[in-house]
Amino acid sequence: MRKFLIPCLIALAIPAATFARTTGAPANNGTLSIREARGIVQINARGSMTGRLNGRLTITDPKPFDAKRAIVYGATRTIYRNEKTTVFQGKNLRFRAIGAQFRIRAEGKTIFVSALARGSVLLDGAGDPSANIFYDGVFSMNDEGYQSLPNDPTPFDLVASPSG
């Protein structure tokens, strides 16, 4: 009977320990939403990031040999810079990077991005009134109101807003 009882207790203890670890402290992930951006959106974060764009997408995976890989659809041209960095070009590029640390740089127009992650973001809108480009897209962080992309490269922290 003891030979049967000990494996059963171990089988019950492992899922309970995993559940306790995953439901412990909150992850402090922030949210980012970008609509119709024109310019550069750069994200260096761990979490879930999805999007689409017309232009160039550079993805750097610091751990390229783990099981977590970014998925990209719609590339008409792919350039492998090295084992960690890949550049995709095309219209209607779609990407998904989930569950690991990724550096994503989207350059172009009609950039849409949604992220639930923790890290940093650099936004640089490409509005140019002299070229009759007045709208360079909008962004929202942590469910705040949408605002226009900054005209100069501006860094933001992608973390949960402090609750008060």
Q: Domain range spanning residue 102?
A: 25-158
Is residue 133 included in any domain, yes or no?
yes
Number of domains in the chain: 1
pTM: 0.77
Confidence band of 24 (pLDDT split at 50, 70, 90): very low
Q: Nearest Cα to 110, choosing from 86, 130, 88, 126?
A: 126
Cα gap 87→70, rounded to integer Å: 12
Predicted local distance difference test score (pLDDT) of residue 25: 45
Report if residue 140 sits inside a domain.
yes
Is 19 part of a structural domain of the chain?
A: no
Task: Identify whether 6 is part of a domain.
Answer: no
Q: Of 126, 117, 152, 154, which is closest to residue 36 (Cα–Cα)?
A: 126
- Asked which of 16-20, 58-62, 91-95 is least confident by mean pLDDT, the reply is 16-20
pLDDT for 52 beyond 70: yes
Report whether 139 contacts 147 (CB < 8 A): yes
> Cα separation of 31 and 139, whole Å?
11
In a domain, 30, yes or no: yes
Look over the chain and give the mean of its residue pLDDT values, rounded to a whole number.
84
- The residue ranking higher by pLDDT, 105 or 64, is 105
- Does some domain include residue 50? yes
Residue 10 lies in a domain: no
Output 79 or 19, whichever has higher pLDDT. Answer: 79
109 in a structural domain:
yes
